Structure 1
Amino acid sequence: MNLLTLLIRCGLAVLLVSALSALSAQAAGLQPWQIVSGDLPPFAIEHAPKRPGLLVELVEAMSARAGQPSKVQFFPWARALAMASSQPRTAILPLTRTPEREASFQWLVRLYVQRFAFINYRSKPPINSLDSARQQRIVVLRGSPNYLQLMQHGFLPNQVVQASSTEEMQRFLERGLVDAIYGGDVINLEKVRSSGHQLADFQVGMVLASGDVWLAAGKGMEEAERNALQAAYDSLQADGSLARLFARYGLTPP
């Protein structure tokens, strides 16, 4: 089978699955779904309609191909997480899949893999071990899995500050309220760059954990809709759209 035939068949399959998904939602009398996120560049970038973030663009393209186009709405991350947990047919991105979250969400499509690392100023010693990390005051994003990760590695609650946004995490570090950031390395380094700081002034230390990032929903998504979203992702991968999108943001697909 040549590439053209494969792409044609893939496209027809997506159209069929999308049509079935839309018909299933209509037949069931389901309300339109919504997608929420926080300001987590480069994956989701608030107030940037021309460059709204890698995973925002990806999921909006998937939703269009799946026959249920939707735009991502931005909220503080903890609020977005609460909305997805409590409101039917509310999807969220980018959500790290963890054992603690496993039973609470419908895991729709795997989008990326992120690493969680310690980041501090280059003028300070790098944090390359748990022993050195436990001597520091650390900031994490509220609603992320990072606080629990640190508790599981012997950190004390009074060592770890929870911030409402990645921007607030940066401010805490700038003002000397904490010694280091712990969280997604791609997200936090992009926030450093986009806020006008010099990347050369910062360093990435020990990577403590990694996790798959998903489009997920608390409840209410039909099986046909989930299949349509996965088929849409597969078609974007097959026709090269996925690779081109990742390249625009300087990243590599998972």
Structure 2
Amino acid sequence: MFVVPKPLRLLAALLIVGTTSANEPIKLYMPDAPPLTLHHYVGGHGMVGDVVLTALARIGKLTHIVAEPWPRAQIRVAKGKDMLIIPLSRTPERENIYTWIAPIMELERAFFSLDEPVTSFAQARQRYRRVGVGMGTAQVGILQREGFSNEQIVQLKLGENPAHLLSLGRIDAWFTGIPEALYIWEASAYREQNLRQSPSLASTGLYLACSRDCDAQLVEQLRNAINQLEHEGVSLLLRQAYLPLQPDP
């Protein structure tokens, strides 16, 4: 699928000033991770996806969105050339294997459960036997650094429904980005249950990144385009369109 941002949001469409390039489309690796990135949604491509695709259009680039399992996508981009990837958390383990183009947003993370919420990693480590996290996500490393055992960390593959697993008691809690949890829960069959959220316990910047071997001109053009979108307030408006309702504390 070759994609240029569609006029799904009038504001974004009016502010796209680039023209489509006849050059080879740039590969953009992104998972279907609502509401951050979306593949098949009538309203757009998500909080991070809309910003990045708008920036690419502004510099006149066609984009080929590539959907692969998230761990494989990260390896392929890191070892490739001029490949883009979103939404990638800038963590110590990843720092030297990618070219970091620009931050798109800050992602706050919390524990979600159906019982009284925890208030710290130490409390969660003691209370929860099984914590669901997305496979290959920064959440895995965060929990490992906080002393959670491999037995406590349940890595969920793309397509496994954490809301369903939480409702059935197959995981005790779900540790993920706050927008993702609220978006998925609201769209699930279990939304009538009282989802409880801990305070935000970790935060990392979500970046547009490129292969370590990445064209310097492309990096500079995209960095400038994303900075312009942020300065103009366009990025904020695009992200806010996906913000879900907040649960009870």
| TM-score of the two chains, using structure 2 as the length reference | 0.80
Q: In structure 2, the residue corresponding to 1:81 is in which secondary structure? A: helix
Code of the residue aligned with 2:168 in structure 1: it is: R
- How many residues are matched? 227
Any conservation in 2 of the 1:141–1:164 contact (CA below 8 Å)?
Answer: yes
Aligned to 1:104: 97
Structure 1 position 34 matched with structure 2 position 27: yes
- Measure the CA separation in 2 of the matches of 1:51 and 1:57: 6
Aligned to 2:84: 91
- Measure the CA separation in 1 of the matches of 2:216 and 2:109: 32
Code of the residue aligned with 2:218 in structure 1: it is: E
Aligned to 1:133: 124
Aligned to 1:65: 58
Any conservation in 2 of the 1:41–1:191 contact (CA below 8 Å)?
Answer: yes
Aligned to 1:244: 237
Any conservation in 2 of the 1:141–1:166 contact (CA below 8 Å)?
Answer: no
The Cα offsets for residues 21-70 of structure 1, whole Å up to 9 and x where unpaired, read as x89xx7xxxx6421011121111123214322121111111011112231
Structure 1 position 194 matched with structure 2 position 187: yes
Any conservation in 2 of the 1:97–1:213 contact (CA below 8 Å)?
Answer: yes
- Measure the CA separation in 1 of the matches of 2:200 and 2:231: 32
CA RMSD, 1 decimal: 2.6
Q: In structure 2, the residue corresponding to 1:103 is in which secondary structure? A: coil
Structure index of larger Rg: 1
Any conservation in 2 of the 1:97–1:214 contact (CA below 8 Å)?
Answer: yes
Aligned to 2:70: 77
- Measure the CA separation in 1 of the matches of 2:65 and 2:25: 13
Report how far residue 197 of structure 1 moved.
3.5
User: Where do 1:108-119 residues align within 5 Å?
Assistant: 108-119=101-112
* Structure 1 gaps, min length 5: 1-10
Off by >6 Å, runs of 4+ in structure 1: none
Report how far residue 216 of structure 1 moved.
0.6
